[in-house]
Structure 1
Amino acid sequence: MTGAAMQLPVILLPGIITPADITYRYLLPQFEGPATVIARDLAIYANGAPPSDYSLDTEVDAILNAVDEAGFERFHIGGFSGGGAISAAFAARHPHRLASLALMEPAWFGNEDQSEDEIAVREAVEATESLPYAGMLAAFAQLNVADDVEIPAPPAGDPPDWMEHRPAGIFALGPACRDHTLDLGALRSLNAPALYIRGGRSNPAMYLRMQERAARLFSDFTVEIFEDRHHFDPPHRSEPERTAELLLSFWERAEARLPA
């Protein structure tokens, strides 16, 4: 691992399906010692089923309350998929609280300035929401990866207990993203580095296009591509050592930029 222990805490958010401790179970042990990393579950499931008035602000407010209660004045934030979308929304609402922003194939990065191919994929994703859950999940999954990627069938047997409210969560997140206005001006003014991680086998019409839009916004922007990975075989699961080295180096560089 890299040099001295970091001073600021890190909040990592999972996607909309898998809980944080499972999402990052291979990554978190890599941080023991150098960093205080908190893998935080999404607020959408805080009371079981998603609330009827769920929005990205629900998540932003929950993060703000948690870090205020913990006494974290400034911290690093990062997230995968839905957690990446929420991280971007938090950065736009509270940029002064962040030491850095890490986006790991965010599910969404605002509704502005999308290219034609990204719009087409977004419309196809929205169309899956009218399907029964099993059909929706299969169609949605295929839209997230490159055309030549075969996604394995789900494991046989009964789903784990935590899956109970996940279908409703998936159906709630899409509209929440579409209804949210990402403050691009606030992101442009972010006085902290941003990192974008994507898999080379993920759908470029989604994840490359979001990368390109992010690159036009952030003044300090780094991209890391894991060529053999995709959205359902992500770097934090399949290459945790490399991912941890990358994140630790990024966070340490971010802290070196902070005022003394």
Structure 2
Amino acid sequence: MEPFRVILLPGSVLPAGLAYRALIQALGPEVQAVAKDLELYKTDEPPADWTLDTEVDGVQREADERGWQTFHLVGYSGGGAVALAFAAKHPDRLQSLALLEPAWAGNWDWSAAYTRHWKQYQELEALPPEQFMPAFMRLQVRPDVVLPPQAPGPPPPWMAKRPAGIREFLRSFKEYDLDRARLAAFDRPVFFALGGLSHPDDYGEIAARLARVFFPDFHLEVFPHRHHFDPPHRIEPDRLAEGLRRHWASVEAGTPAA
């Protein structure tokens, strides 16, 4: 059997190599895994015309350069939102989709709880940088979760780009037209990893809506002790790798994942 061809998209904070190092090691040599950095951070400042489509085009270029007509796509957080946009625009390129708590999944008729929660993200835009990141992180986990303290010493150089990049994601989420009909027509298998300690009005709501409304072949895997900032791909890579390999193998075999 040929190796699985996989593109891994990171969230809006960690670079792809750091985010997926443990998972790529756990996946092993039978997986051709490419950790692709976001187009958003290729320059010192976010491009003036950046949208989710900029990232969609970047994924397509990456696959084309490797000669991959079809491949498996994995996206975490902001990268998960990109993965959904890619599935809507280029469903024929994907063998499967894996979503690791996508940060956004369209501007539709969400529940009242989700809508209230999302308004709090919009309110972050008025905060100064030193308050922005802690507030941004707090919104994504259950209220009783203790978030890890900031690492001692100066932040890494790439961190300076992140507040502006996160704001660009939030802006694009407000403006982007994720084609509901095309997404609903996506018939490839979808895997969703959900942390049990992530905020239920955020990622829990997204998982439930995608399973109920959009994807007929949807597999949800819950990691009870994980949340958005200690995600499975970094903290439980072996278990996640096992689930992903099972997911991809089911695609190759043409049978539902167990």
TM bucket normalised to smaller: over 0.9
2-structure distance, mates of 1:6, 1:197: 25
Matched letter for residue 247 of structure 2: F
| Matching residue of 2:240 | 243
Alpha-carbon deviation of 1:213? 1.1
Match of 2:170 among 152, 171, 174: 174
Matched letter for residue 19 of structure 2: T
2:7 alignment partner, SS class? strand
| Matching residue of 2:217 | 220
Deviations 1:71-117 (A, max 9, x none): 11100001111110110110011011100000100000111121111
2-structure distance, mates of 1:127, 1:104: 25
2-structure distance, mates of 1:94, 1:48: 29
| Matching residue of 1:94 | 90
| Matching residue of 2:28 | 32
| Matching residue of 1:209 | 205
Counting aligned pairs with the same residue, the percent is: 43
1-structure distance, mates of 2:144, 2:29: 40
Q: What pairs with 1:152-171 in structure 2 (closer than 5 Å)?
A: 152-171=148-167
Alpha-carbon deviation of 1:257? 2.4
2-structure distance, mates of 1:111, 1:255: 33
| Matching residue of 1:133 | 129
2-structure distance, mates of 1:8, 1:241: 17
| Matching residue of 2:147 | 151
2-structure distance, mates of 1:48, 1:81: 22
Match of 2:9 among 8, 13, 27: 13
Instruction: Report runs of 4+ in structure 1 exceeding 6 Å deviation.
Output: none
Match of 1:109 among 105, 109, 118: 105
Alpha-carbon deviation of 1:30? 1.2
1-structure distance, mates of 2:151, 2:26: 27
**TM-score, normalization by structure 2:** 0.95
Alpha-carbon deviation of 1:7? 4.1
Contact kept in structure 2, 1:96 and 1:191, CA below 8 Å: no
2-structure distance, mates of 1:121, 1:46: 31
Matched letter for residue 87 of structure 1: A
| Matching residue of 1:233 | 230
Matched letter for residue 220 of structure 2: V
Range that drifts further, 98-107 or 42-51: 42-51
| Matching residue of 1:199 | 195
Matched letter for residue 173 of structure 1: F
Matched letter for residue 235 of structure 2: S
Contact kept in structure 1, 2:132 and 2:163, CA below 8 Å: no
Confirm or deny that 1:68 pairs with 2:67.
no
Matched letter for residue 216 of structure 2: S
2:126 alignment partner, SS class? coil
1-structure distance, mates of 2:187, 2:68: 18
Alpha-carbon deviation of 1:6? 4.5
2-structure distance, mates of 1:191, 1:48: 38
Deviations 1:38-66 (A, max 9, x none): 11000101223210111001101111122
Number of residue-to-residue matches in the alignment: 254
Alpha-carbon deviation of 1:133? 1.3
Identify unmatched segments of 5+ residues in structure 2. none
Contact kept in structure 2, 1:8 and 1:74, CA below 8 Å: no
1:11 alignment partner, SS class? strand
Alpha-carbon deviation of 1:136? 1.1
Alpha-carbon deviation of 1:8? 4.0
Alpha-carbon deviation of 1:187? 1.7
2-structure distance, mates of 1:200, 1:107: 16
Contact kept in structure 2, 1:145 and 1:231, CA below 8 Å: yes
